Amino acid sequence: MSTKQLDTRQACLIILISMLSTKLLSLNSIISYDMGNNAWFTFFVSFLIDLLFAIIFIALINKIDMPILDYIRKKFGYAVSIIISILVGIMFLFKTTEIMVDIYLFFAQLIYVEINRVIFVACFFLVLYYFGTRYLRSIGRTIEILLYLILFSLVLSVIISLKAINFENLLPFLNINFTRTIQNIVSHNLWFGDFWFLFFMIGNIKKEKGTNKKLIWSYVLSSLIILVFVVIFTGVFGSTASLHRVCVIDITEVSPRLINQARFNWLVDFIFPIVLVLGLGLHANCVTICTKHFIRNSLKSKNTISGAFTTAMVLAVGIIFRFTFTLFYQFITSIFFYFNTFSQYFLPILILVMVEFAESKKRRIKYDQKNAT
């Protein structure tokens, strides 16, 4: 068994961090703009949809014993595997850029009034390249080390905001516009689809006792953590929720006594960015995996070159949008979501059909060979 494979605990933590990094900083505010106090319902429905696709990839984990892109290349040819790796790579390229723009927004609003973009790009370069050239197992180990620190920051942010929660802000309950909910889910699908990390775990995770159940529970529990946060965020800010762009930080600034006496909110301000950096690295690593598959096997230093190429692509997209959240958001929700809808939700079904076709063909060949003897 390869020492580069993830164990089940690391795989579960990767799912947790991927979800926290894309949803806790600004997504609550964005969706609250359209959905008001029913923003939680958009999250809830999206999580249900994503759970179904997570189950598809978990089923493939049980069927396939090699990395999925290698499997597709072996069964359907190099060209098909390249097309899929490009589609998935582009999807994760923009997911990575989304986190990077979020980080830039976070530092611009909370840490520095004016950021030297050259220095910031240099910092991004180091983070993207480092995580892009690691194996998922290495990132999983890093998350294990930092897990309790991350959980501490989340629990502290909730504790600080408890006294400010007004559950009347959630009323009227279930006064939901279903059409608007679906529109929000589709237009903001880039922020969801965390089940795709399971795609990269196919053939790269140790199949231990209870692996399937643990992966499903990790997704469910991560979803519940985010839903609880959405409810708290809405309960604190009510109709003004959409005005608070740095959500997980803003809820720590609603208790004047805690802020004035001890500045406990600073702990969250400085610890939560760890989640963002890890999420950025995880998504960049997935782009690198797709890039490595695209590069010929005969090329030397494939991991290094792929990591450098991934870093350059992510930074290029960020620079095109000038690290401006508004420009990036408008592009994602008005144009890119068409591509992402296909890649994120239709591609898994296509891959499942392809695998079932290959496995049924394999079974027929074995059956014919058995009858021939």
Query: pLDDT (tens digit, 9 = 90+) per residue, 148-180?
Result: 999 998 998 888 888 888 888 888 877 888 999
Spell out the domains of the chain, with CATH numbers in brackets: 8-372 (1.20.1740.10)
Q: Which two tokens stand for residue 145?
A: 């080390």
Q: Stretch 345-354: mean pLDDT, rounded?
A: 95
Residue length of the chain: 373
Exposure b/e, 325-339, CB count within 10 A at least 16 = b? beebbeebbeebbee
pTM: 0.92
pLDDT bracket for residue 183 (50, 70, 90)? very high
Cβ atoms of 53 and 41 within 8 Å: the answer is no
Cβ atoms of 339 and 90 within 8 Å: the answer is yes
DSSP-derived secondary structure for 309-336: HHHHHHHHHHHHTTT-HHHHHHHIIIII
Higher pLDDT, 302 or 142: 142
Cβ atoms of 333 and 187 within 8 Å: the answer is yes
- Please give the Cα distance from 187 to 341 (Å, whole number): 9
As to burial, measured by CB atoms within 10 angstroms (0-12 exposed, 13-18 middle, 19+ buried), residue 53 is buried
Decide if pLDDT at 332 tops 60: yes
